[in-house]
A = this chain, B = another copy of it.
């Protein structure tokens, strides 16, 4: 659901509102924050590790990731950001980013000065609560990723990623037999799961052969959602979804 005509700050209010009931006064304040819409090209960085953190924002379209690289330049994707997700909230509290925020696909973001959002969150307790819950949910996803990479084999790892992605884009309803677009290359999937692209390829084939998923060009269909969740050891608790 791209909503190109919408004011990105409305979208921000909506995202925050999913975590706490935002009062009208706070909504008014947020909507008055000046923002800059920016287009990001695949591979370009919005936030760079070690620079000065003074801006945050919201993703309005496309796909963006938090990532870090080691000395050899190997990239580890830490978190995939979907449209509607907040970007760079860290900057409200820490002045040096510890990771990069990078576009995977062509993306659009709205950028907001961190100090203005911080001021609003200082004024309205509920806004701060919403932001804290968002940050903590991100941390929870990082923890699950550590469990995923540290303890599960490639099959379960990839299955888990697919489950998480599907739930996050589509909600939890009737996923079985529904297909969705997975706009990640196998290289990028590998970077997200600590595996090589070649092994991602083989593992995708394995999941397909086992009748868990079906795929064509860029989309994936869940053939057996229940069994996929099962082998992925996936459950939604860690996403802290609101009912």
Contacts and interface: CB of A to CB of B under 8 A. Distances in A.
Contact of A138 (B92, B139, B150, B240): B139
Interface string A134-161: 0111111011111101111000000000
Interface size class of chain A, counting residues whose CB lies under 8 Å from the partner chain: 35 or more
A70 interface: yes
Contacts of A142: 139, 142-143, 146
A70 B136 contact: no
Contacts of A194: 149-151
A101 to B, nearest CB: 12
Contact of A143 (B66, B70, B140, B151): B66
Across chains A and B, which 9 residue pairs bring their CB atoms closest together, nearest first? A150-B194, A142-B142, A139-B139, A98-B140, A76-B147, A74-B151, A76-B150, A93-B132, A98-B238
Given A135-B132, A142-B143, A94 B240 contact: yes
